[in-house]
């Protein structure tokens, strides 16, 4: 079902915006409004995986959701094609910074929980243009917290006790680790280094304060680098896959020895469902894959998989590896200690890196139309801008 940002429902809204989602859900309110959740950013990479998994998981598939997404360059309704005609999914195109819109959504759908993914999420973009990060990640989270607080404040009894605001954040708020330092725990000091991580840190602090000051029932997850289906090819793994398939250079920033912890997106989504169901109010949970790897190792793994699954007559895909100028302020290492979520909620990732990365490469091989669709003129402009002046180094 599709709603326009101004709340107009149905055929007129669909015609006016030509968005390929069916509108079969007539009438007012969601099918069972007390069980509805509000997801923000549900047309992006992790958000769309979360929406699809939520509506497929036996524990949650009876619970409808409203998906609020502004459809920036990173939002893609094709990620949700499998939900065409599904009355459990109500899509609203709109901006989390617009308080009046948020109030209308809360009033109409009376969500029992908010799962907040919407954000500007790419470090390189934050370096070239930080303003959008402050607006969406800080001001948008503030607007959403205020709308949620107004809604929750008017609830009573069980509905008030059951309400949750789950904020999805990142391990990047903790800053960079030395190679021999222990992994980030939930009590690690905040030391964000990029405009992206600073804006996410600010949003985490707002969420914390809204709990401490107003009692808003919040939960925060700080997750490591995700990979999997539907990831926009500006991030390391999908960028390397699409470039390798096109025979283009694979740009390694600096010496390629920066380390990240990598988590399959489906595991991140299952962690969020656990935290939402059973997390302790006001707590933060680190979510990671127990899988630290250097960028160069990731790219070699991808090349080896592509050599196996889609061999190139020109030779190994690794021939395309190209060292380029480093990212300014590039964090050396992130690592997550995910013992708290395992101890308290029994969650551990189900995928190994080997199983998750194979599925991911296969997904990109199986979905050339999705890749072609996201490589619009705007995408090509971004690639030209980000990689200009990073001429290849020997």
360 close to 237: Cβ distance less than 8 angstroms: yes
Region 28-87 residues binding ligand TYD, contact defined as CB under 6 A: none
**Which C-beta is closer to ligand TYD: that of 28 or that of 179?**
179
251 touches ligand TYD by CB under 6 A: yes
Long-range contacts of 4-9 (CB under 8 A, 24+ apart): 4/92, 4/93, 5/92, 5/93, 5/94, 5/95, 5/98, 5/101, 7/101, 7/104, 7/108
43 touches ligand NAD by CB under 6 A: yes
- The answer to whether residue 307 is catalytic is no
Annotated catalytic residue within 69, 95, 172, 331: 172
Contact pick of 75, 195, 349, 356 for ligand NAD (by CB under 6 A): 75
136 touches ligand NAD by CB under 6 A: yes
What count of other Cβ atoms lies within 10 Å of the Cβ of residue 73? Answer: 16
d(C-alpha 330, C-alpha 175), whole Å = 10
295 touches ligand TYD by CB under 6 A: yes
- The answer to whether residue 172 is catalytic is yes
CA–CA distance from 54 to each of 50, 61, 136 (Å)?
A: 6, 6, 24
Helices vs. strands in the chain: H and E counts, helices first: 15, 13
**Which C-beta is closer to ligand NAD: that of 262 or that of 323?**
262
Binds 267: which of ligand TYD, ligand NAD, none (CB < 5-8 Å by kind) = none
DSSP string, 71-87: --TT--GGGGGGGTT-T
Binds 236: which of ligand TYD, ligand NAD, none (CB < 5-8 Å by kind) = ligand TYD
90 close to 1: Cβ distance less than 8 angstroms: yes
248 touches ligand TYD by CB under 6 A: no
Hey, which residues does 264 pair with through a beta bridge?
227
90 close to 64: Cβ distance less than 8 angstroms: yes
**Which C-beta is closer to ligand TYD: that of 75 or that of 94?**
75
- The answer to whether residue 285 is catalytic is no
Beta carbon of residue 315, minimum distance to ligand NAD (angstroms, whole number): 31
287 close to 341: Cβ distance less than 8 angstroms: yes
**Which C-beta is closer to ligand NAD: that of 152 or that of 334?**
334
Contact pick of 253, 363, 370, 379 for ligand TYD (by CB under 6 A): 253
168 touches ligand NAD by CB under 6 A: yes
232 touches ligand NAD by CB under 6 A: yes
Hey, which residues does 93 pair with through a beta bridge?
69
252 touches ligand TYD by CB under 6 A: yes
Beta carbon of residue 78, minimum distance to ligand NAD (angstroms, whole number): 12
d(C-alpha 276, C-alpha 5), whole Å = 27
Contact pick of 13, 45, 264, 273 for ligand NAD (by CB under 6 A): 45
Which residues of this protein are in contact with ligand NAD, per CB under 6 A? 40-41, 43-47, 69-72, 74-75, 95-97, 117-121, 136, 140, 168, 170, 200, 223, 225-226, 232
**Active-site residue set:** 171-172, 196
């Amino acid at each position: 079902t599709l709603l326009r940002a101004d709340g107009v429902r149905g055929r007129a809204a669909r015609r006016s915006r030509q968005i390929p989602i069916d509108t079969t859900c007539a009438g007012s309110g969601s099918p069972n409004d007390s069980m509805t959740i509000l997801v923000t950013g549900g047309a992006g990479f992790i958000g769309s995986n979360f929406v699809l998994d939520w509506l497929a998981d036996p524990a949650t598939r009876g619970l409808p959701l409203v998906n609020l997404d502004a459809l920036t360059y990173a939002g893609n309704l094709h990620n949700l094609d499998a939900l065409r005609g599904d009355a459990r999914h109500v899509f609203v195109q709109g901006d989390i910074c617009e308080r009046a819109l948020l109030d209308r959504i809360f009033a109409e759908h009376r969500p029992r929980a908010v799962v907040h993914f919407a954000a500007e999420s790419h470090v390189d973009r934050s370096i070239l243009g930080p303003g959008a990060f402050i607006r969406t990640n800080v001001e948008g989270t503030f607007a959403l917290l205020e709308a949620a607080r107004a809604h929750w404040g008017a609830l009573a009894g069980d509905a008030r006790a059951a309400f949750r605001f789950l904020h999805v954040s990142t391990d990047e708020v903790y800053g960079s680790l030395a190679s021999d330092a222990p992994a980030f725990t939930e009590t690690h000091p905040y030391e964000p280094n990029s405009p992206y991580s600073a804006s996410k840190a600010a949003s985490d602090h707002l969420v914390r304060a809204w709990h401490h000051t107003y009692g808003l029932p919040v939960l925060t997850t700080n997750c490591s680098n995700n990979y999997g289906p539907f990831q926009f090819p500006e991030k390391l793994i999908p960028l390397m896959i699409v470039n390798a398939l096109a025979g283009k250079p694979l740009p390694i920033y600096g010496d390629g020895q920066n380390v990240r912890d990598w988590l399959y997106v489906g595991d991140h989504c299952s962690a969020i469902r656990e935290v939402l169901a059973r997390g302790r109010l006001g707590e933060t949970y680190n979510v990671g894959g127990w899988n630290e790897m250097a960028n160069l190792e990731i790219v070699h793994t991808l090349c080896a998989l592509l050599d196996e699954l889609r061999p190139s007559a020109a030779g190994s895909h690794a021939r395309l590896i190209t060292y380029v100028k480093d990212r300014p302020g590039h964090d050396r290492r992130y690592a997550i200690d995910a013992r708290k979520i395992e101890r308290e909620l029994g969650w551990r990732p189900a995928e190994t890196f080997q199983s998750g990365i194979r599925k991911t490469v296969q997904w990109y091989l199986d979905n050339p139309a999705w890749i072609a669709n996201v490589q619009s003129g705007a995408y090509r402009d971004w690639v030209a801008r980000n990689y200009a002046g990073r001429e290849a180094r020997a």
